Structure 1
Amino acid sequence: MQWALIALGGALGSLLRAGIKQWLLPTQDRLFLSGNATLLANLVGCFLIGLIFQWTVEKNLSLSIQAFLITGLLGGLTTYSSFIMDLMLMPQKKDWALSGLYLGLSITGGVLLFILGRNLIRDLMLS
């Protein structure tokens, strides 16, 4: 049963990521990052993983719910492989500053948003 929940969550998360990409497609040339859809999906995913991880700990939720939400849904939404592909394509355009900015925003932003999500739900549960 847990495998089915992970598969369902992964499918939904992948559809969310595809939706973000379609939503941002018209802005692709106007925004400063060519990997803006990947960046947005990963940053939102990091925030939600922090929030949901802490929520599952505080509420002692079942492993099946954790597997569906974190491994499935948010694992499907976030995408390390697309992040790396975007990062590797940027230097081909001779845009080293953009590559550094993308890397910094992805890593630092992801860590900070995970912490924000985790702390937000922890504070809400304590009040």
Structure 2
Amino acid sequence: MTFTDTFSEFYEHFKTSLSDGTFAKLTFAKTIGNSELKNIFIRPVLDKNELKFELKFRFQQEEIMETHTVNSAFDRLLPFINNPFLSAILFTTEFDLTYKLNKKRAVSITDQPPTFGNANEVLLAYLGK
């Protein structure tokens, strides 16, 4: 399976957590080597009553923010899998899902008990919950 296929599977869990109101946050971490880009944080924002996503790229010296739809966010994030990030973690109120590449670049997707007890407030407001 390619990174596109495996990340698509992981990203479907992200979209499901949005629709069912359990999404807390999504983070890219664990870079390869000494990368200028340290993390990417994804959080929902409302733009003219439309749900979009703020991608915060945290570099060593600065932060850059971009706003995307759920579909354009996937296209923007995909190139960062394996270069420079080896993992992405989806936090929901039901489970934490980790997308991880090992040294041989084999992908594993594992779930763990949830870290967060509450879903993202912007998402809940958007869903009317």
Band of TM-score, shorter chain: under 0.3
Structure whose residues are more often helix by fraction: 1
TM-score (norm 2): 0.26
Rg: which structure is higher? 1
Please give the TM-score of this superposition, normalised by the length of structure 1: 0.26
